[in-house]
């Protein structure tokens, strides 16, 4: 990962913010399931939201590495706080940047760069892994569309000012008949429904997003008509690297707990703990290698489908194992909420589920390998 001096400066700022502000707040955010508004405002000020947004749209114009490393650093302290900018920039901002019209880029990207929150709304009660099975429709009316349907489990749902929502525009074309629309919270007919209580990342709001005769102009379409599914898959290729960065940060936090508290309790020199620690480092190293490689491919403009799935699978499964082992090493202490380790264990689980479950990542990996006739590493 080649980071320029200004990028390194930003990451120092993020590190300082994470250790001085986020670390102390993480357990209270988790216990109260409260959205960390003050931390979001500060991330807007120090540049977490703006790193990856090009200068012409009000951002800093830094590389994807700078954004991903910011997410990783914040995840070491609190996976809720890191997820909010991650989703905003990589799931809402990135597709607008790559596929949106010039007026849409002007309308949304500068606001995101300042810390306004966005969301990607694909999942529906009957369509999670099968993102092409959505029932939300966008019916042509005059110069625009009327959207009806309901999304569920949408990260940032409660606070987002903008949503990128998928809708069926040509039902007979199946996944080739889906289109993405950028929606503003204040649009008539758009509302936020039920908020879900969760086992982890409790400081993020995860809600239903309901659309009842939402009228949008054609200019709110992101990409071409019926191009939505392809854009979603492309967006998730970058999004999955964000989840890998989150999983790596959570793992690093758990390893830090083992080293610090394990030393305090004099359990780190026991052979069982040392074997587990060595396995944790081995898993973390594999996760970081794949994560770095996938970012390199994106930055070189190359296809990252295989590496993004490998990164998410490796980092997510490792995070669950690493945090579980950390709890075991620290024993009864880690079952207590006095220490952050049990929270990290609960935070790690989601990285195997969202942005495509790890079973779906395995399917993608196998398909990609069969397509090219075997591994070419
Ligand atoms: C906290 C949280 C935040 C989320 N945020 C967002 C968001 O911001 N935007 C959004 O659009 N969605 C979001 N989601 C939804 C998330 O992307 C889905 O939960 C995920 O894609 C899996 O879909 P599902 O939960 O419906 O599971 P299902 O698709 O019902 O899968 C259930 C099980 O079956 C397995 N499975 C399903 N199909 C196959 C298959 N073909 N082959 C093998 N195994 C299969 C799955 O791996 C899983 O184990 C969020 C979910 C959670 C929990």
Within this chain, do residues 105 and 141 fall inside the same structural domain, yes or no? Answer: no
Average pLDDT of every residue of the chain: 97
What is the percent of the chain with per-residue pLDDT over 90, rounded to a whole number?
A: 95
Instruction: Count CB-CB contacts under 10 A for residue 116.
Output: 18
pLDDT of residue 263: 83
Please choose, from the candidates 188, 286, 178, the residue with its C-alpha nearest in 3D space to the C-alpha of residue 225.
178
Question: What are the phi and psi torsion angles at 288 (to 5°)?
Answer: -65, -40
Strand, coil or helix: 47: coil
Ligand 1, pocket-test mutation among 123, 154, 203, 352, most atoms within 8 A of CB: 123
By 3-state DSSP, what share of the chain in percent is helix, strand and coil, each rounded to 5? 60, 15, 25
Distance 124 CA to ligand 1 centre (A): 10
Which residue's CA is minimally distant from atom 6 of ligand 1?
154
Is residue 21 situated within a structural domain?
yes
**Could you tell me if 98 and 234 are in contact, meaning their C-beta atoms sit under 8 angstroms apart?**
yes
Ligand 1, pocket-test mutation among 88, 95, 128, most atoms within 8 A of CB: 128
CATH code assigned at 213: 2.40.110.10
What is the separation of C-alpha 73 from the centre of its chain, rounded to a whole number of angstroms? 14
Within this chain, do residues 261 and 348 fall inside the same structural domain, yes or no? Answer: yes
**Is 215 assigned a catalytic role?**
no
Within this chain, do residues 181 and 247 fall inside the same structural domain, yes or no? Answer: no
CATH code assigned at 244: 1.20.140.10
Pocket residues: Cβ below 6 A from ligand 1: 87, 119-123, 128-129, 153-155, 198, 206, 350, 353-357, 359-360, 363
Give CA separation, 161 vs 112, 116, 119, 156, 210, in Å.
10, 7, 8, 9, 14
**Domain final residue, candidates 226, 248, 264:** 226
Within this chain, do residues 171 and 273 fall inside the same structural domain, yes or no? Answer: no
For 63-120, what is each residue's pLDDT tens digit? 999 999 999 999 999 999 999 999 999 999 999 999 999 999 999 999 999 999 999 9
Tell me the C-alpha distance between 11 and 321, whole Å. 28
Distance 330 CA to ligand 1 centre (A): 32
Within this chain, do residues 82 and 100 fall inside the same structural domain, yes or no? Answer: yes
Within this chain, do residues 130 and 99 fall inside the same structural domain, yes or no? Answer: no
Is residue 202 situated within a structural domain?
yes
Name which of 47-56, 211-220, 329-338 the model is least confident about. Answer: 329-338
Task: Give me 333's structure tokens.
Answer: 């202490």
**Could you tell me if 52 and 67 are in contact, meaning their C-beta atoms sit under 8 angstroms apart?**
yes
For 116-141, what is each residue's pLDDT tens digit? 999 999 999 999 999 999 999 999 99
**Domain final residue, candidates 63, 85, 116:** 116
Within this chain, do residues 240 and 365 fall inside the same structural domain, yes or no? Answer: yes
For 156-201, what is each residue's pLDDT tens digit? 999 999 999 999 999 999 999 999 999 999 999 999 999 999 999 9
Within this chain, do residues 79 and 167 fall inside the same structural domain, yes or no? Answer: no
Is residue 50 situated within a structural domain?
yes
Within this chain, do residues 188 and 301 fall inside the same structural domain, yes or no? Answer: no
Is residue 377 situated within a structural domain?
no
Segments forming the whole domain that contains residue 310? 229-372
What is the pLDDT averaged over residues 202-208? 98
- What total of structural domains would you count in the chain? 3
Within this chain, do residues 234 and 367 fall inside the same structural domain, yes or no? Answer: yes
Within this chain, do residues 219 and 247 fall inside the same structural domain, yes or no? Answer: no
**Domain final residue, candidates 226, 258, 274:** 226
Ligand 1, pocket-test mutation among 354, 358, 363, 364, most atoms within 8 A of CB: 354
Q: What is the DSSP letter of 220?
A: G
Tell me the C-alpha distance between 260 and 79, whole Å. 20
Instruction: Count CB-CB contacts under 10 A for residue 376.
Output: 7
Q: Is the pLDDT of residue 270 over 90?
A: no
Is residue 66 situated within a structural domain?
yes
Task: Give me 86's structure tokens.
Answer: 């991650």
Within this chain, do residues 368 and 235 fall inside the same structural domain, yes or no? Answer: yes
Distance 355 CA to ligand 1 centre (A): 7
């Amino acid at each position: 990962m080649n980071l320029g001096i200004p990028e390194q400066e930003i990451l120092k700022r993020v590190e300082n913010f994470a250790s001085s502000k986020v670390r102390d707040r993480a357990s209270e955010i988790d216990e109260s399931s409260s959205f960390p508004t003050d931390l979001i405002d500060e991330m807007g000020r120090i540049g977490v939201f703006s790193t990856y947004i090009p200068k012409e749209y009000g951002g800093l114009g830094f590389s994807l590495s700078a954004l991903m490393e910011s997410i990783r650093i914040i995840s070491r302290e609190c996976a809720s706080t890191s997820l909010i900018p991650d989703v905003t920039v990589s799931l809402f901002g990135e597709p607008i940047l790559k596929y949106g019209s010039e007026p849409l880029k002007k309308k949304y990207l500068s606001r995101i760069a300042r810390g306004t929150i966005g969301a990607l709304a694909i999942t529906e009660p009957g369509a999670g892994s099968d993102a092409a099975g959505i029932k939300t429709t966008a019916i042509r009316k005059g110069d625009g569309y009327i959207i009806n349907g309901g999304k569920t489990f949408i990260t940032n749902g409660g606070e987002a000012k903008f949503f990128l929502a998928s809708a069926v525009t040509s039902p007979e074309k199946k996944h080739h008949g889906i289109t993405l629309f950028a929606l503003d919270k204040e649009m008539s007919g758009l509302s936020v429904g039920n908020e879900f209580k969760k086992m982890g990342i409790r400081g993020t709001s995860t809600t239903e997003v309901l659309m009842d005769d939402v009228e949008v102009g054609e200019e709110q379409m992101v990409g071409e008509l019926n191009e939505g599914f392809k854009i979603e898959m492309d967006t998730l290729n970058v999004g999955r690297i964000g989840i890998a960065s989150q999983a790596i940060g959570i793992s690093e936090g758990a390893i830090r707990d083992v080293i610090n508290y394990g030393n305090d309790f004099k359990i780190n020199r026991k052979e069982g703990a040392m074997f587990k620690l060595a396995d944790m480092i081995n898993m973390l190293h594999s996760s970081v290698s794949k994560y770095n490689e996938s970012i390199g491919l994106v930055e070189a403009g190359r296809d990252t489908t295989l590496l993004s799935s490998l990164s998410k699978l490796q980092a997510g499964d490792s995070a669950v194992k690493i945090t579980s082992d950390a709890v075991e090493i620290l024993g009864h202490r880690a079952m207590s909420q006095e220490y952050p380790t049990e929270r990290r264990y609960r935070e790690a689980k989601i990285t195997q589920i969202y942005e495509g479950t790890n079973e779906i990542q395995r399917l993608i990996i196998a398909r990609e390998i069969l397509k090219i006739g075997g591994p070419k590493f």
